Structure 1
Amino acid sequence: MSDQIKFIVDNLNKEPFKKNYNLITFDSLEPMQLLQVLNDVLAEIDPKQVVDIREEMPEQTAKRMLSLLGILKYKPPGNATDMSTFRQGLVIGSKPVVYPVLHWLLQRTNELKKRAYLARFLIKLEVPSEFLQDEIVADTSKQYEELMEVFKTLHKECEQLKTSGFSTAEIRRDISAMEEEKDQLIKRVERLKKRVETVPNHQQMLKIARQLRVEKEREECLAQHKQEQKNQLFHAVQRLQRAQNQLKSMRHAAADAKPESLMKRLEEEIKFNSYIVTEKLPKELENKKKELHFLQKVVSEPAMGHADLLELESKASIISRKKEGKAEELQETKEKLANLEREVSVKRNQIREFDGAEVLKGDEFKRYVSKLRSKSTVFKKKHQIIAEFKAEFGLLQRTEELLKQRHENIQHQLQAMEEKKGVSGYSYTQEELERVSALKSEVDELKGRTLDDMSEMVKKLNSLVSEKKSALAPVIKELRQLRQKCQELTQECDEKKSQYDSCAAGLESSRSKLEQEVRGLREECLQEESKYHYTNCMIKNLEVQLHRATEEMKTYVSSDQQEKRKAIREQYTKNIAEQENLGKKLREKQKAVRESHGPNMKQAKMWRDLEKLMECKRQCFLKQQSQASVGQVIQEGGEDRLIL
């Protein structure tokens, strides 16, 4: 027992209780305090148990604790006869009953928390068969059981996800991706701000856009409320129709309350029930088996892992970013189109304002357009020729650079060889001499050779140009084919993208509709569940009251005096008698206090006066002592003077 108390005290002094007990203080707790400690431990397991037991009746406290201990599957020691003593001990806060409960709860707190949480959703409520004959109650019970199964599967998946865990690398990748998206969004917002600032009256337009967004959200909310009210109205109409049908049937039954009619009705009910048992229920069972087979196939399929989900999320984020980018491009093109339309309208107005100006119409405009097209084709051909010449010029320029670089390398090698041989500068002087001689000879023969050199140079250049053209012709032809193919691929890409955007928009709209339907069904399920819980609680309360009434009747009828003593009436009468005796003692004590109040007050006043008198005497005595010491000092000082 001491080890048990020590374990309880150690755990109560830890988090989250922090009671700061020791063995003596804990063992000296009153029954109400001990019950409050037990209630605090139960409140840590189930937050609904947070109650001050001083504000609660003992029967309610015992009932609440016993129901929770039953949910937590606590088995008190002993047999059935000890159960009554266990309940009584729990009501009065008996230490031999409370200590084992505390020891059991503190040993497995985390496990019991989980069990208490699951008990809120997994306790099956037993509905009597006569209530299940009502269609509403039967449907609600069936929905409750289905939702319980769904909760089981979801809880298992949640536990698996908790135990699986996520790697830090994946979290870091997600964080980096989110940061990149955040930077892109910031840049996009800055671009939009700059673009909006150039528009006149942009503040007013932003205000109007904000109001439009608020009104749209309000419109969606109102539409949702309207749909919810329609659903509620539909369900209410159905309930009203069912109630009216039941009322009609009951009135009809009351009107035709004859043995023959009752027999006919019973025969019809028997036929109906036999039809349900022989035909309807087997068909539903077969359908359920098919659904179960299909669901087993679905379960046998390999489940999507975390990597697959991450891949899908990354693809979705990429698609959403592309979609946003294309939306921005579309907005920019729309703005450009609007600007161009404004410019066209301005130009048209300017043309109309000019006097004598003529606007081309009909055939003249067509001829003008055809002439422009022919000129554009000529321009394109000329532009293509110029591009070819530019390409050839670039190639020639590159070859010239390469030759110059090669020449410089050869010159450096030659200078290095001259330095090795000890004749540095020889090639340079030789080149200078050759150059001077060449210049002289060229000056001498300049007049004669100028025309020949120029003609030969022109021939060489023409031959080089023709060679380069012939060499580049297949490359240019292949480049044209590749350009055409690139245009076709871009066109095909645009078509596929438009198809994708339309498909994504359709899927988004269907997803929003499904989400709205699921939301409505969930709310309806919650309402029905609350109604079911309320009815269940009422049934339990009535059962408890009925049980108490039967137990009380048994004790009244029983001939055993001990059983009669256990009755609630006897206990209450005993408590009333004890309280009356206590009240008598307190009244007698009050009477004695009133009688001795006057003399006691006088005696207290005399003691206070005596204290004041003694304090005054003490002050006088101290004053006399101080005066005597001062006189002695003065006398000693006079004697000293006489001696001097």
Structure 2
Amino acid sequence: MYNQNPQMQQQQQQQAQQIKTIIGTDEVRQIVKCLNDKPFNENYKLVTFDELNPMELLDVLNKVLTHLDKQTFENIKSKQPDQISLEVIQFLNILSYPVPQPPNDVQFSQQLLTGDKRVIYPVLYYLLTRLEEHQKRAFLAKYLVPFMVPEDIPLDEDMKQQIEKYKDLQAEFQVSHQEFEVISQESNNPTELKKEITSLEGEKEQLINKINAFKNKNTNRPEFQALLEVTNLLRKEQEEEARLAEKIYQQKQQFEYTDQQLLASQQRLMDAKKSLSASNTAEQMLQNMRNDVKKNRELSNQRFAIEINEKKKKLEQTEKLLSEPPITQNELNHLDNQLIVLRRAVNMMEEKLSKQANPQDDKLAIYKQQAQMITRKKKKLQKNSKIQKKNNSIQKNKQQPYKKKQIKKEVKDLAILIIQMDMTDSEQMLKKLEKQKGVEGYSDALSKLNQISDQAEVANKGKEVALEEYGQLAEKYNATMAYQKKRLKRINQKFERIKRQIIKKEVNRQVAKNESKGGNGQEYGQNMNRLVL
């Protein structure tokens, strides 16, 4: 085992006042309850536990310690008493139990080995009431307790390197454990995942049933097939339109780039012609050079001003850092560990976001759509309120004609009621006559037949209108496609014309350059013009 860290001893002294060292009946009852529960599953009563002899109490303590650290306490009975007491006390120190400091620890060790209730009961109460916390602490202590080298042993370079490596491994383990805790906290409960899977499967079955019912209902209809064909054409045309828009954008970008290059090359050509002209004097050349120097100086001053401001900001930041108290090596190590943890957490979040990038898997899409619908409804309500206000103002101006119309409407409604009453009387008389003649139900059948014929006529008209609309949509998409193709062709022709102009100007410049050097510029120009054409 390892020696105790002085900082850990100080923490123990601060926590000693919060730990019960005097055990009463309530505490013993809680010890018995913890022993009877999992993972010990004992069958103690309060009386039987209180009647345990010292050796049996030591067995109970050994079971608890073995559960916390099986590697250390599994075969502890085969060791010497001094070694047993030393290992138990060191383990209690790791768990922040207030073990008495020397020279009082000798008495504590003797009472522990003899199974004294005054020592065993407080230790059991402390271990059992926070069993999960102590189990986690015991697990981490194997890897995070510092290795203390006695002061009388000199440290060579190899030993120092091994200690530094040990500290690095401890920091890496701490980071990995923190990541594990974060993942375990973020991970969903398996029962909740199962419930979500079952609900999603139920929704999937419902959707499949709805799709199958819709297919069975509409597959035999000719207008359904026409609708499918039109929607497929619409989707293809939309994809083609998006592709053409992207291509047009690229062509525009390329056109702007070539236009800028053309302007820059024209400017350079004009400057070169001015500098090489025979009428250009030395004073003009000197003035041009001065103008260039002035422009360059202004640009450099602007750039230097920006850089100076940035350097001043950095200087202020460094002065603030220097004015703060110095950071110790432990704080730096802690900050490095936190930085590693945060970077890994960021990577995990980026992976989650990349997985959730598919809009079909976005769980918030429904809520976003609802929010958009609510905003649209609000806008409609605002428009309706404005229209209502306008109507109120109009109605105030036209109140008298409206009253006349209302009276006419009431008269019409009254006439309709009278006609309906007459109709009901006539229908009753007709039914009586049907009973007398033995053809009861003839009028109802005739009215139903008329309704069915009217509905069939309306459905046929709807089909004709739908087919006309589908035809108009197809013509519209074909016209849009032809227009986009013509537009793209014009852009390509314009681009080719500009490209030829640029090449011709480059050829003329090369010809002029060859003539100035004494070469055969005309022959070179003719060859290049043939290549261009």
Report the TM range for the smaller structure's normalisation. Answer: 0.3 to 0.5
**Higher Cα Rg: structure 1 or 2?**
1
Structure number with higher helix proportion:
1
TM-score computed with the length of structure 1 as normaliser: 0.29
TM-score computed with the length of structure 2 as normaliser: 0.34
